[in-house]
Amino acid sequence: MSANSSTTSSKAGFRGARSYVAWFFAISALLIALAYGVRFTYLADIAPQFTGNASLDQKLLFIRNGDFGGKPLALVVGSSMALNNIDADLLQKAEGIRAINAGVWDIGLKQSVDLAAQLSDLYDVRELTLVVQFFEMTDERNTSGTVAADDLRSYLARDLWMDVERPFDIAGALSTKWDWNGDYGNPNSYMYLKFTETGSVPLPLDRAHIDRERWSPSQRFSSHCDGCLLPIVRICEAAVKRHVPFTVVMPPLTHFYRADRPDAARLYERRRRELAAMVSGCGGRLFDVERYADFDDACFVDFSHLSSRGVRSMTDLLIAWKRGLPASPRRHVRCD
């Protein structure tokens, strides 16, 4: 082969490689542009997949898009016991202070406290309420993770880089979007996530869609509590130090569940006593709903989650309690 043909072959090979590289970057740029387009149009209402917990991720998007900055706030935190059992819209209207219900399902007590601390550092929290049920006060509670403090701060501050990163969780966001109508956007689903103005989600399930198997779950709850109340002590002491009124709310349980599961009923009563002593000792207040009212089982959609009517009744009682509601006579609440 002549030197001239060898040179021609090398040039052709170089041009081919250059063309391949150019096509590679062009296609990559097109795919990235497409990802951005999908993320900020079709998936604009889906939160970044920080944790894989749709309730937590969507709640952070809700807070980010809200008008909560620079205003005195009443903050409600906890698991679904807060999200589904407290109507913070009613609290906001009654007390005249902007409220956030930052409750999310499948979150542990320690994680609720961590989230409360993070939000208290970012917003002007003037009142703090933790909602907790007996089965959450355990050393064995395992739940979805929370968001690192720096990431949460950047995201809620609308940091540009956090937005730039968003298209790269597109697979998880698409999964959430596809599940929306059947689960998160369905008012007859226990996974309903249509937030009210304050971030609450009273469950509007009609009787035809209530799952009776949820009225007495078979799960056994450990009575061991070596340090299970310490997160509450920590958040209570931090709030008192900041001169922020701190309240713990313990919602009711159905009569059916307590009769069907005497072991759980005994643990429920034990945790009520322990919680009362602990909250009093740290300078907080406990609204133990059971002391003030007897809720009919028609007020529930399962053993521990109230119906939308039950939520309104319990929140009205909480408001009255803050204004000096006496424990006697004990009220009977009907929702049928």
Does a structural domain hold residue 244?
yes
Q: What is the pTM of this model?
A: 0.86
The closest alpha carbon to 257, from 292, 313, 214, belongs to: 214
Q: Give the domain range for residue 197.
A: 60-150+193-333
Average pLDDT on 53-79 reads: 92
Q: State what percent of residues in the chain have pLDDT above 70.
A: 82
pLDDT digits (tens, 9 = 90+) for 273-288: 999 999 989 999 999 9
Question: What is the total count of domains within the chain?
Answer: 1
Between 73 and 160, the higher pLDDT residue: 73
For residue 259, being part of any structural domain is answered with: yes
CATH of residue 126's domain is: 3.40.50.1110
Please compute the mean of the pLDDT values over residues 111-122 and round it to a whole number. Answer: 92
The predicted structure's pLDDT at residue 99 = 96
Which residues, including other chains, have CB under 8 Å from residue 307's CB and lie 6 or more apart? 202, 203, 204, 205, 298, 299, 300, 301, 335
Nearest to 109 by CA among 147, 82, 75: 82
Q: List, for residues 260-270, the tens digit of each pLDDT value.
A: 999 999 999 99
Classify residue 292: in a domain, yes or no: yes
Segment 284-329, tens digit of pLDDT? 999 999 999 999 999 999 999 999 999 999 999 999 999 998 888 9
Q: Is 186 inside a domain boundary?
A: no
Q: Is the peptide bond before 329 cis (omega within 30 degrees of 0)?
A: yes
When pLDDT is cut at 50, 70 and 90, the band that residue 152 belongs to is confident
The answer to the question of residue 79 being in a domain is yes
